């Protein structure tokens, strides 16, 4: 039996998930399978278009490539197990598997938060310092920012996972969620968790609010710069460039804030699962759709890669 400390007696958890919707299990399986395949297909398409279109070999699309890859890995940590449990009578997960899932879920989630902030900084440099953009956002800085996002994200995930893993679990083992997330697992610990919950809340502020505030500051400078553009067409193009990123920002950080930045007394696990579907399924699906449908450069590059006829302007 795998144990983590002397007081641990629970060696596996039961993921309650959508068990209350027993008659809809097959329908939910079909829906989540379709969404998962769509996520993989759209993110793979975005990565392929960026990889094979030389016009998209810029820092902005490099960050989008990494974000699409990270989102694909992020959903891989959660959705396949959900699909298995929807068709299975037993919905158990071992202590070790739960800790592993929690670590990778938090690692990719934190990395995504930092990557989106990096993309906000990239837009700030591109709009506020266009003549120095190539000089500032060089390959070395781009790789450094991506590496820093990943390393910081997984270090935070390691700290958070260890804080939870070392708690004693000796009572109920039914996790009121469809994957191992922090709050539903902590509720099962048979000890006072206030100190560790405070530490985890502090980490949540670091991961969610710090990047979000940095994005708001970046866009404050961006809006100020755009308003100084003399032509209406120039303003429209500048705002259009930022619209896709802002859409992702508010959906991503909004859902994360609802779950991780609220008092413990206001937790409501049943509703949490609906919000969790948004940030584990809808957001990874939204990102490539928003960036492709609202971005003319990506649409043009996609047509070129697929060999579709290009529209030409008549002089």
d(CA 154, CA 315): 53
Give the tens place of pLDDT for each residue, 225-269: 888 888 877 777 777 777 777 888 888 888 888 888 876 645 545
Please state the domain extents for the chain: 12-306
Give the tens place of pLDDT for each residue, 63-81: 989 999 999 999 999 999 9
Give the tens place of pLDDT for each residue, 142-190: 999 999 999 999 999 999 999 998 888 887 888 888 899 998 899 888 8
Residue range 9-17: mean pLDDT, rounded: 83
The secondary structure of the chain in percent helix, strand, coil, rounded to multiples of 5, reads 75, 5, 20
The answer to whether 75 and 36 are in contact (CB under 8 A) is yes
Q: Which residue has the higher pLDDT, 273 or 101?
A: 101
pLDDT at 104 over 80: yes
Per-residue confidence at 214, pLDDT binned at 50, 70, 90?
very high
Which residues are paired to 175 by β-bridges? 15
Whether domain 12-306 has CATH 1.10.3720.10: the reply is: no
d(CA 242, CA 127): 10
Supply the pLDDT for residue 311: 56
pTM of the model: 0.87
Between the CA atoms of 8, 11, 17 and 20, what dihedral angle is there, to the nearest 10 degrees? -90
The answer to whether 179 and 81 are in contact (CB under 8 A) is yes
Q: Quick one: 222 exposed, middle or buried, by C-beta within 10 A (0-12, 13-18, 19+)?
A: buried
Supply the pLDDT for residue 32: 93
Residue 45 φ/ψ, nearest 5 degrees: -65, -45
């Amino acid at each position: 039996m795998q144990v983590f400390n002397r007081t641990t007696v629970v060696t596996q958890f039961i993921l309650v998930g959508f068990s209350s919707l027993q008659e809809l299990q097959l329908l939910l399986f079909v829906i989540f399978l379709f969404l998962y395949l769509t996520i993989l297909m759209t993110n793979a398409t975005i990565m392929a278009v960026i990889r094979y279109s030389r016009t998209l070999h810029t820092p902005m699309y490099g960050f989008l490539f990494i974000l699409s890859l990270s989102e694909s890995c992020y959903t891989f940590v959660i959705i396949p197990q959900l699909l298995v449990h929807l068709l299975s009578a037993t919905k158990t997960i071992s202590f070790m598997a739960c800790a592993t899932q929690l670590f990778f879920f938090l690692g990719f989630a934190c990395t995504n938060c930092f990557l989106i902030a990096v993309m906000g900084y990239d837009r700030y440099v591109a709009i506020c310092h266009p003549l120095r953009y190539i000089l500032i956002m060089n390959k070395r800085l781009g790789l450094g920012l991506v590496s820093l996002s990943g390393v910081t994200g997984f270090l935070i995930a390691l700290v958070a996972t260890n804080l939870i893993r070392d708690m004693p679990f000796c009572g109920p083992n039914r996790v009121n969620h469809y994957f191992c997330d922090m709050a539903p697992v902590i509720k099962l610990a048979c000890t006072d968790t206030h100190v560790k919950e405070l530490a985890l809340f502090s980490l949540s502020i670091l991961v969610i609010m710090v990047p979000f505030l940095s994005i708001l500051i970046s866009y404050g400078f961006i809006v100020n710069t755009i308003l100084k553009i003399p032509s209406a067409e120039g303003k429209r193009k500048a705002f259009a460039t930022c619209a896709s990123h802002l859409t992702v920002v508010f959906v991503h950080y909004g859902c994360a804030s609802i779950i991780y930045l609220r008092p413990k007394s206001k937790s409501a696990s049943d509703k949490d699962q609906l919000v969790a579907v948004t940030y584990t399924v809808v957001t990874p699906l939204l990102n490539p759709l928003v960036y492709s449908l609202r971005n003319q450069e990506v649409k043009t590059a996609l047509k070129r890669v697929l060999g579709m006829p290009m529209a030409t302007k008549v002089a």
